[in-house]
Structure 1
Amino acid sequence: MLRFVLKRCLLGLFLAFIVLTLIFLSLHLVPGDPAEIILTGEGGGAASPEALAKVRSELGLDQSLWTQYVQYLSGIISGDLGSSFRDNSAVTAAVAERLPRTLELVAVAVLLALVVGIPLGSLAAKRGGVVDAAINLVTSTGISVPVYVIGTVFVLVFSLKLGWFPAGGYRPAEADLAGHLQRVLLPALALSFGIISVVSRMTRSAVLEVIGQDYVRTAKAIGLSGPTVFRKHVLRGSLNPVVTVVGLQVGTLLGSTVLVERIFNWPGLSGLLVESVLQRDYPVVQGIVIVISVIFILINIIVDISYGMLDPRVRTS
C-alpha cells in the first residue's frame, strides 16, 4: 500500500510541475504589457518609456524568460504567489483569506451529496418500480436545472417567503457559529443539488451491476442476512465509480461556486477570481488558478488512494 501511495504522489508532483509550467507560459503569451496596463489602465494615455522601464524592472519583466520562470517556481515553492497589480498586496494573503470559505462550501456540498445521493441511489436499485421511477425523475430535474436557478429559487422560497435562512452574506464562525451555519447551509445545498443527482444515478447503476455478481450470490447462499450482504459486499463493491464521480465533480463545484457566491454574496475565492479577471490583475488570477489546479491534482491523488483502500485489486495490479 505504501508503494502504491508513493507512486501516486510522485505522479501528482509531475502533473503539478506540468500545470505550473503551462500556466506560466499561458500568461506570458497573453497580449499586452502588464507595465503599460498598470500605468495607463484600459484605454488610458501613453506612458513614458522611462516610467515603463521602471515598472518592468520592479516587476522583473526586464529579465530573461528563463530567469522569470525560475523565480516563478521558487516563489511558488516558498509560498510566495507575487503581489497584486491593484494595491501591491500579497496574493498569498488574499488567497489564504478566501480559499477556506470556498472550500467550506464545496466540502459541505460533497458531504450532502454523499449522505443523500448514495442512500437514494441504493434505494432506487433495491426497490425498482415506482420508487425507481420517482427517484429518476427527481435526479433528472437536479441534473438539468442550472445552479443559478436553484440558488435563486432557494433564496425566494427559504429566505424571502419562509424566512428560515438569511438571504446571503457571510459571518465568521468564531464570532457567531449559529449565524455562520445558517449562512453556509443554503448556498451549499444549492451547490450540491446537481451532484446529489449524479451520485444517486451512479450509485444506482453500480449497485445494479454488482448485485448480480457471483460473490454476492455466494454470500447469500452461506446464510448472511440481506442487509449484511448489501452493506459489506454490494455497496462496498459499488463505491469505486461513485468515488470517481465525486472526485471529478469537485472540480465542477469549484467552478460552480462563482455563481453561488454571487447569488448568496459569499466572499469566496471564485468571486475574487472574477473581480481580478475584470480588472486584469494577472498575479491574482495566476495565483488563484495555481491554487485551484494544485487542489484538483490533490483530489485526484486522494481518489486514486481511495481506490486502493476500497479494492485491493487496484493497488496490486
Structure 2
Amino acid sequence: MTRLVVRRLLLAVPLLLIVSTLTFVLTAVAPGDPAATILGSSATPESIAELNAKLGLDDPILVQYGRWLGDAVTGDLGTSVVTSQSVGQAIGARLPTTLSLVLLGTLVAAVVGIGLGMVSALGGRALSRVTDVLAVVGYVIPNFWLGLMLVYVLSVKLAWFPATGYVALSDSPGGWLRSLVLPVTALAVMGATAVAKQTRDAMREVMGREFITALRADGFSEKQIVFRHALRNAAIPIVTVTGVLFIGMFGGTVLVESVFVLPGLGGLAVTSAQAGDLTMLQGVAVVFCLAVVAANLVVDLAYGWLNPKVRVQ
C-alpha cells in the first residue's frame, strides 16, 4: 500500500507540470491585455507598455513561466497582476466554499445513488425502469437551470432557504448548512443518477454469483448477504464512479457558484479569465489539479481496503 501511495505521488509531479504549462501558455496567448484592463479605457499605448514592462508581462512566455514555476516550488503562487492580492490568500479565502460544495455534493450523490441503486437492483423491473427514467432526467437537466428552479420555488415562493450567499462553517454551522442546501442539490442530482445506475448494475451482477447462493444455503439472512457481502463486492465500480463524480463536480461549481452567488474557486477562475489575470488563473488550475490527484489517491486507497489483492501490487 505504501508503494502505491508513493507511486501516485510521483506521478502527480509530471501531471502538475503539464497542467500548469498548458494553462500558462493557453492563457498567455488568449486575447486581452491585463495592463489595459488595469489602466482602463483611457489608457495610452505608452502607459500600457510601461505597465506591461513593470509587471514582466512583455517577457517571453517561457521566461514568465520559469519565473512562476520557481516561486511555486517554494509555495509562492505569486500576486495577482489585476488586484495585487496574494494568489495564495485569495484561493485560501475561497477554497472552503468550493470544498464544502463539492464534498457535500459528492456525499449526497453517493448516499442517494447507492440507496436508489440497491432498491432498484433488489426490487424488480418496475423499480429498475424508474431508475432509468430518473437517470435520463438527471442527465438532461442542466444544473444551473435546476438551481434557478430551486431558488424560485424554495427561496422566493416558500422562503425555506436563502437564495444566495454563503455562511462560513466557523460562523454558524446551521447557517452554513442552510446556505448549501440548494446549491448542493443542484450539483448532486446528475451525480446521484450516475451512482444509482452503477450501483444497480454492480449489485445485480454480484447477487447472481454462486457464493451468494452458498451464503443463502448456509442460513445467512438476506440483510447480512446484501450489506456484508454483496455490497462490498460491488463497491469497486461504485467507488470508481464516485471518484470521477468528485472530480467532475469541480467543473460544475463554476455555474452553480454563479447562480447562487457563492464566493468559490469557480467564480474566481471565471473573473480571472475575463480580466486576463494569468497568475490567479494559474493558481486556481494548480489547486484543481491537486484535488484530482487527491481524489485519485483516495480511490486507490479505497481499492486497497476493499480488495486485499491491490495492497500487494
TM over 0.5: yes
TM-score where L is the length of structure 2: 0.90
TM-score where L is the length of structure 1: 0.89
Deviations for 1:73-126, whole angstroms, at most 9, x for unmatched residues?
A: 222222222222222111111111011101101111111112211011011001
Residue type of the partner of 1:14?
A: P
Residue type of the partner of 1:11?
A: L
Structure 1 moving runs of 4+ over 6 Å: none
User: How many aligned residue pairs are there?
Assistant: 313
- Gaps (5+ residues) in structure 1? none
1:178 corresponding residue in structure 2 = 174
1:280 corresponding residue in structure 2 = 276
Preserved contact between residue 216 and residue 222 of structure 2 (Cα < 8 Å): yes
Deviations for 1:229-279, whole angstroms, at most 9, x for unmatched residues?
A: 211221111111111111112222111112211221211111122122222
Residue 85 (structure 1) aligned with residue 77 (structure 2): no
Residue 295 (structure 1) aligned with residue 288 (structure 2): no
2:112 corresponding residue in structure 1 = 116
1:98 corresponding residue in structure 2 = 94
Note closer, same or farther for the CA distance 1:86–1:60 as it changes in structure 2 (3 Å cut): closer
Deviation at 1:52, TM superposition (A): 5.7
2:146 corresponding residue in structure 1 = 150
- Within 5 Å, which residues of 2 pair with 1:1-317? 1-30=1-30, 34-35=34-35, 38-39=38-39, 46-48=44-46, 51=47, 54-61=50-57, 67-317=63-313
Counterpart secondary structure, 1:314: helix
Deviation at 1:10, TM superposition (A): 1.7
Counterpart secondary structure, 2:75: coil
Note closer, same or farther for the CA distance 1:138–1:33 as it changes in structure 2 (3 Å cut): closer
Preserved contact between residue 170 and residue 183 of structure 1 (Cα < 8 Å): yes
When structure 1 is superposed on structure 2, of 63-72 and 6-15 the one drifting more is 63-72
Note closer, same or farther for the CA distance 1:63–1:306 as it changes in structure 2 (3 Å cut): same
Residue type of the partner of 1:77?
A: V
Deviation at 1:33, TM superposition (A): 5.7
Residue type of the partner of 1:231?
A: F
Deviations for 1:184-214, whole angstroms, at most 9, x for unmatched residues?
A: 1111111111101111111001111121123
Deviation at 1:34, TM superposition (A): 4.8
Matches of 1:205 and 1:9, distance apart in 2: 32
When structure 1 is superposed on structure 2, of 149-158 and 217-226 the one drifting more is 217-226
When structure 1 is superposed on structure 2, of 270-279 and 69-78 the one drifting more is 69-78
Preserved contact between residue 101 and residue 268 of structure 1 (Cα < 8 Å): yes
Matches of 1:33 and 1:123, distance apart in 2: 55
When structure 1 is superposed on structure 2, of 196-205 and 139-148 the one drifting more is 139-148
When structure 1 is superposed on structure 2, of 202-211 and 222-231 the one drifting more is 222-231
Counterpart secondary structure, 2:234: helix
Computed over aligned residues only, the root mean square deviation of the Cα atoms, in angstroms, reads 2.3
Matches of 1:15 and 1:189, distance apart in 2: 32
Residue type of the partner of 1:140?
A: V
Residue type of the partner of 1:228?
A: Q
Matches of 1:34 and 1:263, distance apart in 2: 26
Preserved contact between residue 20 and residue 282 of structure 2 (Cα < 8 Å): no
Counterpart secondary structure, 2:168: coil
Preserved contact between residue 61 and residue 68 of structure 1 (Cα < 8 Å): yes
Preserved contact between residue 125 and residue 132 of structure 1 (Cα < 8 Å): yes
Note closer, same or farther for the CA distance 1:74–1:185 as it changes in structure 2 (3 Å cut): same
